[in-house]
Amino acid sequence: MMKSALRQRDVGRLRQIARLLPALALITVALQPHAEDPTRFNLGTPASTEDIAAQDIDVSPDGHGLPGGGATVAQGKIIYDQACASCHGSEGQGASAAALAGGNRVPPDELAADRTIVHDVGNYWPYATTLFDYIRRAMPFDSAGSLSDDEVYASTAYVLYLNGLLDADSSLDATSLSAIAMPAARYYREDRRVSGGDL
Ligand code: HEC
């Protein structure tokens, strides 16, 4: 009695497995590599040192990554008038694109609460070095990447001048740019969260 009950159950299992066999066979066939599959597809080319250097343009807040060279505020006015003023206004007051200067210097809670106050480089940006990074990678908006490093220094200098952060007769290079303390820097604090529950 006991024996035949067991047998019936075993037979049931075997039938179930038998029903699955065709599907298992198909999966096994699909996973077999095709004899004519290439081992390499030969797509793309290895990145050269120059290719990598052209992409590796990030500048840290402390100025790490800034290139050599530099420019004066006076040179910056020439670049700014040619390449930036059409969208940002002749004095950085904004036009089709955001204002870069002219905003009131108010505490951050006021700046956040009153959306009519212009957020610009002088009252909102924590690091001057980020301005160089941003202009080099993203501006002019319609031809990003077209400026030489000296032209980026020049336009950075002019935007800082428009914000009263550089004198008209001054110049800018990696050392002097890294040394500029932005008015809004004290309103930011370092985010030390790493991951998971911290966030
Ligand atoms: C064709 C129009 C155009 C030109 C020319 C242009 N910009 Fe811009 N700019 C923009 C636009 C649009 C944005 C906003 C981009 C975004 O939010 O992604 C912007 C954003 C910026 C910002 C960030 C503003 C902020 O506070 O968020 C800076 C700084 C800036 N531009 C500087 C420059 C400088 C310097 C030049 C000249 C070298 C320049 N731009 C030329 C259209 C332009």
pLDDT at 1: 47
pLDDT at 148: 97
- Structure tokens given for 164: 């009263």
Ligand 1 pocket test, candidate residues 88, 124, 151, most atoms within 8 A of CB: 88
With a 6 Å cutoff on the Cβ, whether 98 touches ligand 1 is yes
**Closest-lying ligand 1 atom to the alpha carbon of residue 158:** 35
Bridge partners (DSSP) of residue 172 are 71
Helix (H, G, I), strand (E, B) or coil at 173: strand
Pick the CATH number of 63-187 from 3.10.290.10, 3.30.390.30, 1.10.760.10, 3.30.540.10: 1.10.760.10
Q: Using the mean position of ligand 1's atoms as its centre, give its distance from the Cα of residue 140 in Å.
A: 6
pLDDT at 161: 98
**Closest-lying ligand 1 atom to the alpha carbon of residue 140:** 41
With a 6 Å cutoff on the Cβ, whether 155 touches ligand 1 is yes
Ligand 1 pocket test, candidate residues 81, 82, 87, most atoms within 8 A of CB: 87
Ligand 1 pocket test, candidate residues 124, 141, 153, 158, most atoms within 8 A of CB: 141
With a 6 Å cutoff on the Cβ, whether 163 touches ligand 1 is no
Q: Using the mean position of ligand 1's atoms as its centre, give its distance from the Cα of residue 38 in Å.
A: 47
d(CA 74, CA 1): 104
Please give the backbone phi and psi of residue 50, each rounded to the nearest 5 degrees, phi first: -65, -40
Q: Which residues of the chain are modeled with pLDDT < 70?
A: 1-6, 22, 24-33
pLDDT at 190: 84
CA distances to 33, 152, 182, 187 from 101, rounded to whole Å, are 62, 17, 13, 18
Helix (H, G, I), strand (E, B) or coil at 181: strand
pLDDT at 4: 56
d(CA 158, CA 123): 16
d(CA 180, CA 168): 15
| Contact assessment for residue 123 and residue 106, using Cβ atoms and an 8 Å cutoff | yes
Look at the block and give the residue holding tokens 């250097």. Answer: 53
- Structure tokens given for 66: 């800034």
- Structure tokens given for 117: 């106050």
Q: Whose CA is nearest to atom 4 of ligand 1?
A: 140
- Structure tokens given for 23: 């599907």
Name, in order, each residue with C-beta under 8 angstroms of 158's C-beta and a sequence gap of 6 or more. Answer: 73, 76, 77, 79, 80
**The pTM is what?**
0.80
Q: Using the mean position of ligand 1's atoms as its centre, give its distance from the Cα of residue 187 in Å.
A: 23
Amino acid found at 31: L
DSSP state of 183: T
With a 6 Å cutoff on the Cβ, whether 142 touches ligand 1 is yes
Distance of CA 8 to the CA centre of its chain: 66
DSSP state of 92: S
